Structure 1
């Protein structure tokens, strides 16, 4: 089997103000770095309404649609914006995550990477924030559970910022394990270790500024991987943010590209041993364009090698 690469040109039409870190060039650089790789390219569909409503109330979905401008830019919160192309982009990013789950669970792909924007892991039930409109990974997890009937799904978020949205959307779901490693203190200021959720299915791992490869890897070996093994998921979903890279301008962790290779390989090991290799990764953050492109390409190289196995 191959690795599915799910994307759509609409995701390049989500525009933000000049100088905004979540810019069109992010996805353009990632797609350029993935050009020519041995993947199965799949068009991200528009998300189905029932998938959106698994995690967001109808009033919120309608409010986001109403906020989309016909021209110019609309400010949704302090750092979240919409342009005329943003709504379609958000629908494609969410729909792409769901499509990736469908492909992997049907055995049509060994694993999948969703190269789309806007990202999703900060979008809460009724709040758009942190560049995010819809909870892409969370709704993919709920689709896997409710539509496909999986017993358990694990979400691993190694973006440098806490996945507050994914936590908010999934913490009441006992069938979903959510694990977030993130710099702390750092925006959004959530994700302390005592936030474990009503079913003890939330694991937050705050990481001090300046932390590098050795401590990061030890944290995952000691805490994250055993927790995933004990949960025994039927599918692993990854919020793949590459802003913990030492060159990222929005944070202060010191990871190298090789660390993203390592964590991808180890998560694939777990997927192989626990759930038949079934793993879906969705692009989240990463704001130094060179580091983002290099790290995402390295991440996908591992997925290709492991998916083909």
Structure 2
């Protein structure tokens, strides 16, 4: 089949203050890097309000709307901001992952990558934080489970920061397995191995600062891949953060671009074994523009190769 690239220009209208690491240029660099690739390019729809309410309460959405400024910036916490275009961008980001799930499960694409911002994996049930407004990966999983009737969905998060929001949103969801690797210690401070979910449905893999690709590969081969095989997911969602790259300014892991290609390739092989190759990936972090665009391109190239 093919790999779908799902994005929208509205995601460029989420603007943060000057000097903020989660900047418009992140998505611009990614889209430029992906331009030569053979992809099925799809515009991200707006998520419906009912889609957002699948994972976030109405009061939370109402609070975000109240905080959205008509000009300038609204500040939620020390590093999470709203500009006038932020909520439209967030609804497009959520709509992108939902569209990706629909396309992959409907046979329109083998796999999909949502090139979106703001990212999502730090957004908890009723708390926006860590640059994130809506829990996109958790929403994709819940949409696949509730709307498409799947029995088992796995989320794999290899962002350098712990996916505390996805963990919070899927803590009580026995039909979902969340596997998340992260540098520890590092913000937000969660992600210990004893945080294993209400149904032992969460696997946290802390990685020490200054560790690199060899340590990551050993952890994934020893823990992640066997757990996925035991779970036998019908769909794999990837929270694709690229800030474990050795050049990223916000953390201290030393992955190479080839490490991101390897982890993607291995997840594609497992998906081919267990769920007809069905993967939906969504962009999370990555803040060195050159490292981000190179690693993201390598990630998408592996998705394309797996779709052939």
TM bucket, shorter chain? over 0.9
Write out aligned runs for 1:153-168 (5 A): 153-168=153-168
SS at match of 2:56: coil
CA distance in 2, matches of 1:297, 1:253: 19
Match of 1:128 in 2: 128
CA distance in 2, matches of 1:258, 1:85: 35
Return 5+ residue gaps in structure 2 as ranges: none
CA distance in 1, matches of 2:307, 2:66: 40
Match of 1:193 in 2: 193
Alpha-carbon displacement from aligned partner over 1:126-167 (angstroms, at most 9, x marks no partner): 000000000001011000000000000000000000000000
Match of 1:250 in 2: 250
Using the TM superposition, give the Cα deviation of residue 270 of structure 1 relative to its aligned residue in structure 2, in angstroms. 0.7
Match of 2:101 in 1: 101
Write out aligned runs for 1:10-89 (5 A): 10-89=10-89
CA distance in 1, matches of 2:189, 2:115: 27
CA distance in 2, matches of 1:66, 1:224: 41
Alpha-carbon displacement from aligned partner over 1:209-241 (angstroms, at most 9, x marks no partner): 000111110000000000001000000000000
CA RMSD of aligned residues (A): 0.5
Alpha-carbon displacement from aligned partner over 1:87-130 (angstroms, at most 9, x marks no partner): 10000001100000000000100100000000000000000000
Using the TM superposition, give the Cα deviation of residue 36 of structure 1 relative to its aligned residue in structure 2, in angstroms. 2.0
Using the TM superposition, give the Cα deviation of residue 67 of structure 1 relative to its aligned residue in structure 2, in angstroms. 1.1
CA distance in 2, matches of 1:16, 1:67: 14
Match of 2:273 in 1: 273
Match of 1:148 in 2: 148
CA distance in 1, matches of 2:34, 2:55: 31
SS at match of 1:179: strand
Return 5+ residue gaps in structure 1 as ranges: none
Using the TM superposition, give the Cα deviation of residue 187 of structure 1 relative to its aligned residue in structure 2, in angstroms. 0.2
